[in-house]
Amino acid sequence: MFKKAKLINNIPLVMETAQEMHSVCIGIWVKVGSRFEEPVKNGISHFLEHMFFKGTEKRTAEDIAMEIDSLGGELNAFTSTEYTLYYVKVLDEYLDRAVELLMDIFLNSTFPESDIAKEKGIINEEISMVEDTPSDFVFEVFSKNIWGEDALGQTVLGKRETIGAFKRDDLINHIALSPAAVNLMKIN
């Protein structure tokens, strides 16, 4: 059975308990995806998703990977047209450490300049993989033909031209202008 509540800062919280399980999964859903991107920034939500794992004020990317490995857990994210999800899965005994790690990544990521060029290459490889996978590629073509050039018609990964133009300031501005950030600013 699901429980729904609102935190003191008006952020919704949804919980489900499964007594037979000894693991937890915690996720942060953010209302940012390709649907909400300007065409000249198409792919920025997905790009930003990658950059959240590149280091924080107190952890390097290697520290993040080693810490989640030491917990035997999984730390990951994915982007869709409607939202981006950041999540961690661990045994219930590591709940506090997992939440701290996820929140550090979500609130204190530094988006190092040195990693931006590398991520552009990685995302270009992902775009190539979609183009080489007929079932994925036909979905992209279908969406573009049904929905047009913007909003739901945009690819989640973005286009090579838009990805190539991203700078660190674009990432920071995307966070500041996201619906979630705007709602948080209204609350505070």
Nearest to 28 by CA among 72, 107, 84, 89: 84
Number of Cβ within 10 Å of residue 53's Cβ equals: 19
Catalytic amino acids? 49
**173-177: long-range contacts (C-beta < 8 A, 24 or more apart)?**
174/32, 174/41, 174/44, 174/45, 174/48, 175/48
The tokens for 39 are: 């065409």
CB-based burial of residue 101 (10 Å sphere; 0-12 exposed, 13-18 middle, 19+ buried)? Answer: buried
The tokens for 58 are: 């107190």
The tokens for 99 are: 């939440």
Q: Is residue 29 classed as helix, strand or coil in its secondary structure? A: strand
Q: Name 107's Cβ contacts closer than 8 Å, sequence gap at least 6.
A: none
Amino acid found at 42: N
CB 51 within 8 A of CB 115: yes
